[in-house]
Structure 1
Amino acid sequence: NSGKLSVLSTKINNFILAYDLPAPAWSCSWDLNGSHQIYAGLQNGSLVVFDMRQTARPLEFVNGLTSNPVHTIYSLHNSTLPSGVTAVLSASSAGICQWNFGGSEERQPVVLETGNQGACISLAYCPSSDDIIASFRPRIDNSNEMAYSQHLLTPAIGQGVQGSHVHLKRFGSNCYQKLAVTCANVNDVRLPRSAVMNIESHGCLFASGDELRGELVLQELPSFTVIQHLKLRKQPIYDVKYVHDVDGGLLGCLCDDILQLYGNHALK
């Protein structure tokens, strides 16, 4: 089975480009350093890079380290990378990697060390502070998780289990340090979403759903101290996003068919 990666113009409210993919896409990201490149993580574990100025074929294509779907992908700032090189963080149930594109050297991904935490189910990254939070749940018994990953394509509610959050920080072009680990109530089926917020008056905060309490939890980094519980009108949580601008910031949480928004002033 294949899929398409489509580019929607918000100016004309219509699709302006569509790329054929060798497998369905599970994640995608714009390049932080330019408006032309797009990255996609595929169901078969591969990564594809497109340049909107070259529509005939992908700019680059790499096979993943495993065949597990790439559920999250983030573009990294290239200020610490060699000239002409771009980089992304990708996450699958097998773990987290940094991939570099555009360089002349042989491409080998940097595998981030998180310890034996289980299956990676979520990744949050803050470009302005280079803080990263990876979320994990216990691995299933079957060592081949492809069948389990296929099951995730269908909507499921699941239930809460004890997992963990791991706080990593990026230094330089490809160095990472593990700063802290904490227990967490995560879902045993769904792939949750979370966000790292760099707020001037609060420092770095981590927003994630607590599957047992049914709420959005804010934690200080790197201590993981809980500073606020935000009640949700509905379950489950489908997405969590934070947007920063000159007037402050906005934390959004999509729960079922309700979008709840919180301004910086609403955060303690």
Structure 2
Amino acid sequence: MPDPAVATSDLPVVNADGCIEKDVSAADDPMSACVYGAAGAARRAVLVGDSHAAQYSTPLIGAADRAAWSMQVMVRNGCPFTAIGPNDGGGPVASCSDQNLRLRDLILAERPALVVTSALSERGYARDLGWTWSSPEEMARGYQQMWQPLVDAGIPLVVVADTPLPAPASVPECVEQNGPSSDRCTTSRLDGTGDGPDPLVLAARGMEGVRVVDPTDRVCTGDTCPAVVGNVLVYRDNHLTDTYARSLTGFLAETVGIS
């Protein structure tokens, strides 16, 4: 059985080196901050968003390296790449708004070959952080407002839909207590994806020039989303373990377009 204690510390590369919390736009040399992949590459991709974007950093960096691209990572915990921030119960959470605008300006100046973004779903923010938007449509509008200048500039934008939200609060703890094949640790596809649209997907559907990649079929099989696949824990909390995320490298490279 996979070791749950290992799973909880199975983190992406940007957590290990601090780029998960680095404001690239405020760096002394923003163009070289948190850049990975092939040195001196002719093509660069940018990954931007919150920790659910960051969970794809290791496989995307691997894909970029193999394709002789560079990858600049612009991520921060709790900062979806949106112009409309959430409410935490005491008022609007505005800490990321200015940073997002600065990052957008940096991307516009850099004109990368590709921008990839992802984020925890609205229901995930509500359940696990207590942060809310007035509706999925409001969150989607915030994404569109942030993305539109990139689209207008002709920069390709790919949205990776959020992964299904696991039902157990802690999948590793559930597996430790009940075993890797226990139904208690398995999430139904319907429960994991919810009964409404992911605001990321909702926003992308309303815009020309934005593509959507949906990883759900890589996390769920049939009607269920198992806790363990191939003796690898899928989730460390509401995030994928880095080991499982690395198994998506080929899928992401092909569907995102890093080749």
Higher relative contact order (CA 8 A, sep 6+): 2
Interval containing the TM-score (normalised by the shorter chain)? under 0.3
TM-score of the pair, normalised by structure 1? 0.26
TM-score of the pair, normalised by structure 2? 0.27
More helix by share: 2
